[in-house]
Structure 1
């Protein structure tokens, strides 16, 4: 629930900015009240905290006292080919609480597991997913570019249904990461939740894009959801390099980054009714965890890939984290 201090600060800032821009007390009041009414009328409430906690803190695979959950990023992309059935199995074997899986779609609309919009980086194929049918994708080797390609040679790109069935069998929590396609993703997830009701208590839908989360909640308000956030994500790549060669475009995207960061922390989380906030690890501190705890939202850190970092999140912060490897230190997989 949005705290009173947040509420007053949010609408006070809006009021002052609009007043400075319009010089009209009437228009300023009208626009501020309209924003308030919009958020009040169209926001989704958070799912019951007891169910959100069941998803975020299942008994299986929890670390230490059972308070911290460890989630394998893309199924554990360092330990096995990412977003594959064998990765899910390896994650379970290595003690993960759950797996984070990326949802994409083939040219014929079949929901599959894939992080990128092309198959080039991870398979022995080439080309965009939007031009490849499920039958074509089924002929590719999803382990071809992995460091352990000899061990896992011939691994296939799984469908969403195949991955869900495997996770349910292994009692793994699923973090569905949705990169785009809000309408298609909402429809596909609604179908899979209808077929497997256990997912309401064992999965969470996450996305960098608030429109995706809002559409999922529209389709099924009972789904536990989370927003994913990394500071400067619009202007910089995961390794900190600029996304743009143009200084003007980079500067403009930096401004948008500041606005997006503010919106995530003050408006979007409430509008979507999220239960968790998945955030890049460098932003997480005791104060930051407390900030979200006061709003009934849990922090999940990513991507935590060294023993020192894992000890920090497990022992000191006691915060769930997402990792590329359950067995050794490794570099992050962007």
Structure 2
């Protein structure tokens, strides 16, 4: 099995994270998929941004849950790449899925439901995936496993992945118990046996965020299902 490459927040190592320009770059360099994060605005629009606030990645301040989409749309999300790329808006999930429906990329949507409880975010996300016919190409993931169980209850067909940072005992068993198809562990906690045993049990392993070339090579050799990286171009070359 060839390891797939997912561009973390697009191509976050060289482009403004979680923006259309970043996702398009991941596609351009030949990534198999993209990973993105979602939150929900005050008026119920699902937007693509990593943090619960706009403070780090935009020129604005405040919590996403307290801002309307109209207010968010005015913010510049070019982050540390402003000099290179100019103004970049925060995309909606709909905008990304609409674009993805016209290419062949896999889309890993991470629900950021750990700090803020966004009422109805799971239902709205799944509804939108169906709207664009992307059930076979979207993977839903989260550190909030309650959120993933809810997604599984809402859809029996969409792939569910569990994110975690620490060593988890027999994660393949746990994943099966909660109805997940895959696990997305922090790369530091991944061992070869862990990958082999999980995948033998039908649970795909996609470690994040793998930016070191030596580590990329190692995980490709271990034949994990995919790696999630800020530098998809580098990883694609290694797979080839």
For residues 1-334 of structure 1, what are the structure 2 equivalents within 5 Å? Answer: 67-143=2-78, 145-146=79-80, 148-180=81-113, 181=117, 183-197=119-133, 199-231=134-166, 261-262=168-169, 265=171, 268-314=174-220, 316-319=221-224, 320-327=226-233
Structure 1: segments with no counterpart, 5+ residues: 1-65, 233-260, 330-334
Partner SS for 1:169: coil
* TM-score normalised to structure 2 length: 0.90
CA distance 1:179–1:268, change in 2 (3 Å): farther
Tell me the alpha carbon deviations over residues 273-306 of structure 1, each in whole angstroms, 9 at most, x when there is no partner. 1111101112222211122123210111111102
> Does the Cα contact within 8 Å between 2:172 and 2:198 map onto a contact in 1?
no
Which structure has the larger Rg over C-alpha atoms? 1
Structure showing the higher helix proportion among its residues: 1
State how far apart, in whole Å, the 2-side matches of 1:219 and 1:182 are: 16
Tell me the alpha carbon deviations over residues 89-118 of structure 1, each in whole angstroms, 9 at most, x when there is no partner. 011111211000101111111001011010
Partner SS for 2:11: coil
> Does the Cα contact within 8 Å between 1:182 and 1:216 map onto a contact in 2?
no
Partner SS for 1:289: helix
* TM-score normalised to structure 1 length: 0.66
**Shift of residue 159, structure 1, vs aligned partner:** 0.5
**Shift of residue 167, structure 1, vs aligned partner:** 2.1
Partner SS for 1:225: strand
State how far apart, in whole Å, the 2-side matches of 1:225 and 1:183 are: 19
Structure showing the higher strand proportion among its residues: 2
Name segments (4+ residues, structure 1) moved above 4 Å: none
- Aligned residues, how many? 231
> Does the Cα contact within 8 Å between 1:118 and 1:128 map onto a contact in 2?
yes
CA distance 1:277–1:182, change in 2 (3 Å): farther
Which 10-residue stretch deviates more, 75-84 or 174-183?
174-183
State how far apart, in whole Å, the 1-side matches of 2:173 and 2:144 are: 14
Partner SS for 2:50: coil
Partner SS for 1:149: helix
> Does the Cα contact within 8 Å between 1:124 and 1:142 map onto a contact in 2?
yes
Partner SS for 1:273: coil
State how far apart, in whole Å, the 2-side matches of 1:273 and 1:131 are: 33
Which 10-residue stretch deviates more, 67-76 or 180-189?
180-189
Structure 2: segments with no counterpart, 5+ residues: 236-240
